[in-house]
Amino acid sequence: MKTAVVTGGGSGIGAAVAQRLRTDGYQVATLDLKPPTGDDHTYGADVTDPVAVDKALNAIRQQLGPVTVLVNAAGLDGFKRFTNLTFAAWQRVIDVNLNGVFHCIQAALPDMLNARWGRIVNISSSSAHSGQPFMAHYVAAKSAVNGVTKALALELGLSGITVNAVPPGFIDTPMLRAAEERGVLGGTIQQHIERTPVRRVGRAEDIAAACAFLISDEAGYITGQILGVNGGRNT
C-alpha cells in the first residue's frame, strides 16, 4: 500500500484530498498547523519550519513506510492593498505557500528517488492565472509554485516521479468563507456563482478528484502540468 502525505490536511481541500486518497486505498498521513483530533496519522507541524517537517516525515516513514505521494495543500491567503502591505506580511505568505512547498518536497523526495516512483501535486491557485487585487504576495507565491512544478517535472521525470499543480478557483472551504465574511472576495459567493460558467461554487472534492487522477498510475505520462479546476472561471 502506498503512503501519501497531505499538507494542510486539517481543513478544506487538504482534508478532502486525504479522505479521497484513503478511499482509493492509500495510507494517508496529514500534516497541519492545526491537526484534526480523532483522525489517525495526523501530524502537527508548521510547513515553514524545516526541522518540524523533517521530524514529521521521519515519524510518518517509521509508522507507514516510505512516502511516495505528496500533496502540498497547506496555504495561507492574505488581502492587503500593496501600499499597505508590510514586508513581514509579504514574507509570511511567501513562507507558507512557497517555502513550505520547498521544505515538504525536500523532506519527501528521498523516498521517491529510492522507489524510482513518486507523485507530487502542488495546490497553487487560479489567481496565479488571473491575478488578484490586494493579493500580490499570495499571487507571487502561487505563481512560483507553478514554476517550481514545471522545473521539477523536468528534473525528476527520469526518476519516475511526476510533478503537477492543481490551481483551484473559488472552492467552498473555510478559507473562502472567511474571505467572504471579511468582505474581501469582491462580492458574495452567490454573486460569484452567477459569473461562474458552470454556475456553482467548487467543492473540495472537485480538487480531490483531480489530485486522485494525477496520483494514479494511469497518469504516469502527465507531468509539469497546471490543471485548472475552477468551473471555467479561468480558461
What character string, x for contact with ligand NAD (CB under 6 A) and - otherwise, covers 86-105? ----------x---x-----
CA–CA distance, 201 with 232 (Å, rounded to integer): 11
| 206 interacts with ligand NAD by CB under 6 A | no
- Cell (9 digits) for 147: 514554476
**For 157-184, b where at least 16 C-beta lie within 10 A, e where not — what string?**
eeeebbbbbbbbbbbbbebbeebbeeee
User: What does the alpha-carbon distance between residue 28 and residue 21 come to, in Å, rounded to a whole number?
Assistant: 7
> 34, 116, 195, 200: which one contacts ligand NAD (CB under 6 A)?
34
98: left (phi over 0), alpha (psi -120 to 50) or beta: alpha
Nearest to ligand NAD of 223, 230 (CB atom): 230
Name the residue nearer to ligand NAD (CB basis): 159 or 213. 213
Q: Which long-range contacts (CB under 8 A, 24 or more apart) does 38-44 make?
A: 42/9, 42/10
Number of residues that bind ligand NAD (CB under 6 A): 31
Q: Does residue number 228 form part of the binding site for ligand NAD (CB under 6 A)?
A: no
Asked if 208 interacts with ligand NAD (CB under 6 A), we say no
Q: Which of 3, 4, 6, 11 binds ligand NAD (CB under 6 A)?
A: 11
Q: Which of 168, 192, 210, 228 binds ligand NAD (CB under 6 A)?
A: 168
Min separation Cβ 184 and ligand NAD, Å: 13
Contact between residue 32 and residue 8 where contact means Cβ atoms under 8 Å apart: yes
Neighbours of 75 (CB within 10 A): 27
Contact set for ligand NAD, span 40-59 (CB under 6 A)? 46-48
List interacting residues with ligand NAD (CB under 6 A): 7-8, 10-14, 32-34, 46-48, 73-77, 96, 100, 123, 125-126, 168-171, 173-176
